[in-house]
Structure 1
Amino acid sequence: MASFRKRGKTWEYRITYNDPITNKRREKPQGGFRTKKEAMIAAAEAELNINNQFIQKNDSITISEYLNIWFDTYKHTVKESSWGPRDDSMVIIKKHIGNIKVKNINTSMYQKFLNDIAPEYAKNTLKGVHDVFKMMTRQAMRDSYFKDYPLEGVRMPRTKDADKVMDDEKLKDIKFWEKEEISKFLQCVKRRGNPQDLAMFVLLVYSGLRIGEATALKWDKIDFEESVVRVRYTLYQKDGLRDNYMLLSPKTSSSIRNVPVPPQVSNQLKILKHVQNQVKMENEDQYKDEGFVFTDKTGRPIPARNFNYKLDTYIKKSGVTRITPHNLRHTYTSLLIDAEVKLKEAQERLGHSSSKTTLDIYSHIMKETKTEAIVQFNAVANEIF
């Protein structure tokens, strides 16, 4: 409702209305009109805009504040497995542009934001940020902060790919087991573990899968006839909870791949499948079969952190060098080098998006093992002359 008053030689109007975002009463004043009639005409137009929700609400609200408002609504419309991963994207947005006012969102500002953070994050991370910001902005448009969509024409920049950069510090962190340590570790798991643990670690050693890719595996992605494991997903589990999970796209597009595996892997997976069938029968009242390879007695996928813990446990029991699940990928790489697998094929098996990454790791591992090669070559030379 509008009220009018004369201030000096000009008139002004003041409209009071309820802000649907904050649920608070707000006022929209405007002055400088020569006559009351001009003020009344302008106020009528302003009230029409308010009724049509074409006003700019709460001019001082920031992106961080509006993100929270949007998220409180959004999370009630989807499953937690869908809104859970949005938290990380919101943290990134708030960190970089959270203090900017919503009314100042425009194409150039947002494009600059994407361009600035692209070198810091992988493609999937940047996509997640972009998805969240688009959803928030569309809601802001529905809430009448904009007449036109402010992100029109925005383009995704080239991103940092975590696989592409292998600096000296990362190379220093590359650890791997020699054949003797692999054997010692797996024999320990065989003696002191269970079929599921043995299947997992045999798989990681002889396939180079990331731990998240392994825990996401389903039986329909295991081709026993061709001895191939088809990597299509990685498993996300919020806070490592077994009943709060979802399948996500792998790290990069090149991570979607078919990995040939030796008979040892196929054999252990067949044994695990037989054991799993028995578990299903024993727990049929609570077993929910979603086709996962590595599960608990209810059919839920086992969190990656469980296998991280078990890796440490078996390492201590077997007395081998302490490494991480990711170092098992380097161990697999060392086996590819021993088998004289060509660089391009190794890149495809490991799911590296850049051949430079594979080459860096190849070179580093070969440097670590060059002493053995020198001894072998010298032995051959001695036999000749």
Structure 2
Amino acid sequence: MASVHARKNRAGEITSYQVKWRDGGGRDGAWQSETFDSDDEQAAEVFKAEVDRAGNRWPPGWVKGRGYIAAEQAADDAYRFRVYATRVIDNRTGIEDRYREACHKELKKWIFPTFGECDVRSVEHFSGDTVRAWVRRLEQTKVLRGRMPDGSPKAKPMSPKTIRNLHGLLSSILNEAVRAEPPLRNRNPCELTNLPRIDDSGADDEEDVTFLTPQEVHGLRSCFTLRQDQLMVDVKYGTGLRYSELTALAPMCLIEPEGPQAKLRVRRAWKRLAGGAGYYIGTPKTKRSRRTIRVSKSVTVALAELEESAALEAEGLYFTGDQGQRLHYSTFGDRWGRAVKRAKEAGLLPRHKYPTPHDLRHSHAAALISAGHPLTYVQRRLGHESIKTTSDLYGHLLPEVDDDAMATIETVMSGVRPQLRAIV
């Protein structure tokens, strides 16, 4: 059931009333809330009763922060956004079940609280103003991302990328309404929204990527107590594979391990079953992710040691849990965290760095780029779908860019035409 809470300032004066409830009434339902002015206690109580009557959901026709924005408080069930959006995602083709499940979660957590009970046909419920107001609230929302120096969770504003993804999900559903036969809407109001720029998120986003030097990787590696973990660091740092790709590797993935041009075929990755019922080995999700990469001698030596120590068959996994099962990220992550702590205590890792296992992939890319290898090569090696992804993440690491730019500027400042450079 919903409840009404009086919010007070330090002087003990009531500043507002907040109605709180869990979406759907279940223990695992996301917390929802609506706020009323200090002189609107009766309105808060009335709203609480409406929430209870709606089954611990937002009352039909109510938009968060605005109230009822249309005379009709209940849309036909088929056109209520919660029902319509759920049907659209359930019937969407060409997507994996994991992505379908993720869409449902995003809808439930971020979109239904505002638009769930609105009529998808209504130009009042879905307008440029209501969509912009929703985006503005997302910009003001704090989410847990990363850790503070003491290890506690760090609350940060929702990133522009996340906001754009949520807006894109809403827009895709309203596009279905526009394209319906007959059309349910004349236009998509999401087209009127100015979204936050990806590069406007500030320096904090840079903290989400931690680059480790070769010396720091070596020091961190030495702080693992299990040999398999040390070899896992070697292979991940030496290949830049994603965790799901790395832990799906088997001897059959290695081509010509004894030759001078040993390669790894990256054609397998762990994937989550729909509903979180477990994992299975499938193909990486994009064409670029399915790739073949050259590997160095250190990587082949590490894989050979793993294969020999476990007497692996061709399809046996190099990296497993204690019982030969999939090595869960949380299991390795716990051991990673302990190794990071030991490395800091030993002075092998700076105290301001809080790397994750995924940062070995970033550090692999940084090592290649800092040595002058082109972004296109790094893109293909990492399996990025777009060169823009590679450039956005690592372009600032190109070592020769500033030097070459300064040389060009100095040349033109002296009145001389700069020499044309070949582009690799």
TM-score, normalised to structure 2, is 0.48
- Determine the C-alpha separation between the residues in 2 that align with 1:95 and 1:249: 33
CA shift in 2, pair 1:356/1:85, >3 Å: closer
Does residue 263 (structure 1) correspond to residue 288 (structure 2)? The answer is no
Q: Corresponding residue for 2:355? A: 323
Does residue 148 (structure 1) correspond to residue 182 (structure 2)? The answer is yes
Does residue 193 (structure 1) correspond to residue 226 (structure 2)? The answer is yes
SS at match of 2:326: coil
CA shift for structure 1 position 63: 3.9
Indicate which of 75, 91, 94 corresponds to 1:59.
Answer: 75
CA contact (8 A) 1:185 1:315 kept: yes
Runs of 5+ unmatched residues, structure 1: 1-57, 281-288, 368-385
Runs of 5+ unmatched residues, structure 2: 1-73, 139-159, 404-424
Q: Corresponding residue for 1:184? A: 219
Indicate which of 302, 309, 316 corresponds to 2:327.
Answer: 302
Indicate which of 342, 349, 353 corresponds to 2:388.
Answer: 353
**Higher deviation after alignment, 63-72 or 83-92:** 63-72
CA contact (8 A) 1:86 1:132 kept: no
- Determine the C-alpha separation between the residues in 2 that align with 1:338 and 1:72: 43
CA shift in 2, pair 1:237/1:163, >3 Å: farther
CA shift for structure 1 position 267: 1.9
**Higher deviation after alignment, 241-250 or 83-92:** 241-250
CA contact (8 A) 1:242 1:300 kept: no
| Bigger relative contact order (CA 8 A; separation at least 6) | 1
Q: Corresponding residue for 2:23? A: none
- Determine the C-alpha separation between the residues in 2 that align with 1:208 and 1:245: 22
CA shift in 2, pair 1:339/1:361, >3 Å: closer
CA shift for structure 1 position 339: 3.9
Alignment map for 1:354-369 (pairs within 5 Å): 354=389, 355-362=391-398
Q: Corresponding residue for 1:206? A: 238
Alignment map for 1:10-29 (pairs within 5 Å): none
CA shift in 2, pair 1:277/1:263, >3 Å: same
- Determine the C-alpha separation between the residues in 1 that align with 2:282 and 2:163: 18
CA shift in 2, pair 1:102/1:181, >3 Å: closer
Alignment map for 1:1-385 (pairs within 5 Å): 59-61=75-77, 63-66=80-83, 70=87, 84-91=101-108, 92-94=110-112, 97-104=115-122, 120-121=161-162, 148=182, 168-172=203-207, 174-189=209-224, 192-195=225-228, 197-217=229-249, 219-225=251-257, 226-232=261-267, 235-237=270-272, 243-244=278-279, 247=282, 249-250=284-285, 254-277=288-311, 292-296=317-321, 300-318=325-343, 319=346, 320-321=348-349, 322-337=354-369, 339-350=371-382, 351=384, 353-354=388-389, 355-362=391-398
**Per-residue deviation, residues 148-191 of structure 1 (Å, max 9, x unmatched):** 3659999x99xx9x9989953333554333333322333443xx
Letter in 2 for 1:183: H
SS at match of 1:325: coil
CA contact (8 A) 1:206 1:332 kept: yes
CA contact (8 A) 2:254 2:265 kept: yes
Q: Corresponding residue for 2:65? A: none
CA shift for structure 1 position 302: 1.9
Letter in 2 for 1:306: T
**Per-residue deviation, residues 17-63 of structure 1 (Å, max 9, x unmatched):** xxxxxxxxxxxxxxxxxxxxxxxxxxxxxxxxxxxxxxxxx834364
CA contact (8 A) 2:370 2:399 kept: no
CA contact (8 A) 2:370 2:397 kept: no
CA contact (8 A) 2:240 2:361 kept: yes
CA shift for structure 1 position 193: 0.6
- Larger relative helix fraction: 1
CA shift for structure 1 position 255: 4.6
CA shift for structure 1 position 332: 1.7
